[in-house]
């Protein structure tokens, strides 16, 4: 039985911690499960998820970026199928630090794409999207081009939180092959190493 916990308490416990690192280091597994249950309840009641913090345009951009970070493959669904964008939006709705990093980062991305390509990120050609993501994917690029600094910090944080959203999902846990804490009646030991 799940103890009665308010939405705000769960989201605050999820959003505690440094924005510079992966939140998996500080998110209690139980709190992540509660957030997932909140999202599932909303989706089953209204057949869709309504963003809590991001505008419709920003949320679509977030979905596209999450898909670029962890695309679906033959073995598992990607970040979209795992519900990473919903997870990120729900956490961001309760954390001003995340709002600044992610909300500001999405504004920076659209503004930078408009300056470089005369279009916002979602309207850019795939090659242009790849080009801008390649620029902000590496910290060294911010050293040579200071204008990329905010974008580099934003994308680094987004990669971490997307991975957290993916690997705390049912799809992500299955992808890892995690079977949970199970009791072993006996430990067979390590496999033998072939001598050369």
Q: pLDDT value at position 84? A: 93
Residue 132: the pLDDT is 97
In the chain, count H helices and then E strands: 10, 0
**Domain chopping of the chain, boundaries:** 7-176
Residue 160's pLDDT is: 92
- For position 20, what pLDDT does the model report? 40
Q: CA–CA separation, 188 vs 85, rounded Å?
A: 41
Rounded average pLDDT per 10-residue block, the chain, 196 residues: 50 47 53 79 84 96 97 89 92 90 97 97 97 94 91 95 88 78 75 81
pLDDT recorded at residue 181: 65
pLDDT for 176 equals 79
């Amino acid at each position: 039985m799940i103890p009665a916990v308010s939405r705000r308490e769960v989201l605050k416990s999820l959003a505690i911690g440094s924005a510079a690192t992966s939140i998996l280091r500080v998110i209690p597994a139980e709190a992540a499960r509660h957030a997932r249950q909140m999202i599932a309840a909303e989706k089953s009641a209204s057949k869709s998820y309504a963003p809590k913090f991001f505008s419709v345009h920003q949320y679509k951009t977030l979905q596209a970026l999450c898909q670029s970070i962890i695309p679906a493959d033959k073995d598992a669904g990607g970040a979209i199928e795992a519900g990473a964008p919903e997870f990120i939006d729900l956490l961001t709705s309760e954390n001003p630090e995340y709002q600044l990093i992610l909300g500001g980062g999405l504004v920076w991305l659209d503004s930078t794409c408009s300056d470089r390509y005369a279009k916002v990120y979602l309207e850019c050609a795939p090659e242009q999207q790849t080009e801008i993501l390649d620029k902000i994917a590496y910290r060294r690029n911010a050293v040579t081009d200071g204008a990329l600094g905010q974008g580099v910090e934003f994308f680094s944080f987004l990669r971490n939180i997307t991975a957290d959203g993916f690997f705390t999902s049912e799809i992500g846990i299955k992808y890892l092959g995690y079977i949970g804490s199970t009791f072993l009646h006996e430990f067979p030991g390590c496999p033998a190493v072939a001598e050369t």
